[in-house]
Every structure is written in C-alpha cells, then in structure tokens.
Amino acid sequence: MRRAIVRGTGHYLPERVVENSWFEDKLDTTDEWIRTRTGIERRHFAAEGQRTSDLGIAAARAALADAGVEPGQVDAIVVATSTPDFTFPSVATMVQAGLGNRHGFAFDVQAVCAGFIYALANADAMIRAGQAERVLVIGAETFSRIMDWTDRATCVLFGDGAGAVLLEAHEGQGTSADRGLLSTDLNSDGQYRDLLYVDGGVASTGTAGHLRMQGNLVFRHAVEKLADTAHRALDKAGLSQDQVDWLVPHQANLRIIEATARRMHLPMEKVVLTVADHGNTSAASIPLALSVANAQGRFEPGQVLVAEAIGGGLVWGSAVLRW
C-alpha cells in the first residue's frame, strides 16, 4: 500500500518580531491581559512588500534542504492560505516559479486555519492514487494584512509565517504500523460562518476586509470539535489515544490547546507548543510547529503524531501520522 511519509520539514518567520507591549499604547490592553487569555507573548509581521508567496518559498526551500531533494524532483505543490497575494494566480504557482520548478502542478486550498489539514488530505490522496511521488504541502499566511487594529479581541491574536512539509511515496503494509499519513478526518458546517469570518471579498465588497470573530462561541466549538475529530482520525487509523506520542495542534490559543489535551487525556508534555512565539498563523501554524519540533529533534522514528485544527466556516479536521 502506498503511504505518504514525511521526508522533510521547513519554516520561515518574517524578521519583524512584535511583542505584546507594542499594542499597549494603541489599544486598551496590556501584555498581561494578552498572555493570560491567549498564551501569546509575541508574533511576527511580514515586512512591507513581503507577500505570502515569499514566505511560502522560503519555507519550501527549507523543507527541500531538510529532505535533500531538488525543486525539480517535486511533482506537486499544494499551498493552504486565506491571504493570497492576488485573487489569482494561486500562491502555489508563484511558489513553483520561485523554486524554479517547471513540471508538475500547483494549486491552493482555502480552509482557513484548518487549511493545512485539508491540504495534507489532498496530497495524501494524490500520492495514494499514484498521481505524484513527491508533494510539497505548505501553509503560508500574512494575516497582519486583514487585521482591524482597533479590535483588541482579534488583532493581538494573529501573526505571519509559513511552514512546509515534503511528502514522499513509500510502500507500506496497509497497517497502523506503517510510517506516514495513516488517516485524515475532515469536517465543515457552514451554518456557523458568522462566528469567524472576514467582512470583505471580491464578490461582496471588492476589498480585502477585516477579520471578525465571536471568540467565546469559537472557543466552545473548538474544544468540542478538535477532540472529536482527533478521536475519529485515530479510529480510522486503528489506533487509540494511549498510543499518541505527540499532539501537534493548531496554535490559536493556549487555553483551547490545554482543554483539548485534557479531553484527549494527554499531558502537556506531549503537546507541541509554539503559540507563545508565533501567535495564531492560521494555516501556517501546524507546519510551523512540526518544523520547529523536528528541528529540535523532538520526534523519533515510529512515533505517532496527531495534528488538528479548526477555522472559519466552520471547518475542522485532523490527521494521524507515524513519523
């Protein structure tokens, strides 16, 4: 059975680091208020003129270097983003051009904060079907471009960045002992679209708009839905939560992450955390966390990882993989 294994990881964060204190003379907030409610201490903002595709290219290069693979050996590029450079062409095609890749295909996936999970599911399906041997899966965002800087409930939460994973086809036995992606679980429910959305768009206002969120309701949905999707993905993979070595969650809010870990009966020592340094980077947060933890040598061959995320839509999902 063909499996999609992780061959390499990489990430990129813009040079500008914005501490919580930066907001104190602009909003009715404090460093303590932000830390205690979100766990965020700082985030990165893209420089003027720096685009989402620039971040994605840098992360992709890092993943290829980690894997020891040349750009021309990549068959497909899938970019998860909600903050594209342009309405079209896709960010993925610009990443493809930036890498100097002239063959294969590239496209974007838009599932907001769950985008990387959706992109992983697409890449996994293409590898299983034999459409590609190697797929670059990238999450890249410049959410600083859609913030309302007068809304303290949202603008302190988000940051910019990109993470990338190179998946490669590998022959497995078709059991839960295989390396690579073992299962994914995808969900959405459009009736909750008003809980987290951007109030602009090509066909509505003709503007990029600003992010709007009903934080308390999103929190309640997140805790319930993230644990549930993780359990479903584990069931599909033929594994139990006792066999999970690492939880790699969407880095939105420390309280959500802690509540989800409790529902999964996982100690925080088994949870990868980057939210303090990155803030919420939407589709980039899981590949960023994967790359940072991998660079630190925290993952060992054969360990079971569960990644899960929820975003505007509402959309949510999870993935189980064996390192």
Those residues whose C-beta lies under 8 Å from the C-beta of residue 169, and which sit 6 or more positions away, are 2, 3, 4, 5, 127, 132, 133, 134
Those residues whose C-beta lies under 8 Å from the C-beta of residue 160, and which sit 6 or more positions away, are 13, 14, 43, 44, 45, 46, 55, 141, 142, 143, 144, 281, 284
The whole-number pLDDT of residue 123 equals 98
For helices 52-67 and 91-99, angle between their N-to-C axes, nearest 10 degrees: 50
Q: Which fold has domain 2-171?
A: Peroxisomal Thiolase; Chain A, domain 1 (3.40.47)
Of the candidates 45, 314, 56, 52, the residue with the CA atom closest to the CA atom of residue 156: 45
Q: State both tokens at 64.
A: 């290829």
Strand partners, 271: 247
At CA 76, angle to CA 73 and CA 79, rounded to 5?
125
- CB contact at 8 A, 106 and 96: yes
Q: Is-cis flag, bond preceding 89, omega within 30?
A: yes
Q: State both tokens at 47.
A: 């420089």
**Cα 168 from chain centroid (whole Å):** 19
Distance of CA 190 to CAs 15, 108, 252, 258, 319, Å? Answer: 36, 20, 20, 26, 21
- CATH 3.40.47.10 segments of the chain: 2-171, 180-322
The DSSP bridge pattern shows strands 42-45 and 16-19 to be: antiparallel
Mean pLDDT of the chain: 97
Burial 185-198 (b: 16+ CB within 10 A, else e): bbbeeeebeebbbb
The whole-number pLDDT of residue 291 equals 98
* pLDDT tens string 237-249: 999 999 999 999 9
* pLDDT tens string 171-193: 999 999 999 999 999 999 999 99
pTM for the structure as a whole: 0.98
Distance of CA 220 to CAs 15, 150, 277, Å? Answer: 34, 25, 24
Those residues whose C-beta lies under 8 Å from the C-beta of residue 242, and which sit 6 or more positions away, are none
The whole-number pLDDT of residue 271 equals 98
Residue 313 region, left (φ>0) first, then alpha (ψ -120 to 50), else beta? Answer: left
- CB contact at 8 A, 95 and 56: yes
CATH class of residue range 180-322: alpha beta
The whole-number pLDDT of residue 254 equals 98
Q: State both tokens at 17.
A: 């680091």
Other CB atoms within 10 A of residue 32 CB: 9
Distance of CA 128 to CAs 60, 63, 73, 109, 237, Å? Answer: 22, 21, 18, 19, 15
- CB contact at 8 A, 238 and 314: no
Stretches where the chain sits below pLDDT 50 are none
Catalytic (active-site) positions: 113, 250, 280
Q: State both tokens at 305.
A: 């990882």
The whole-number pLDDT of residue 224 equals 94
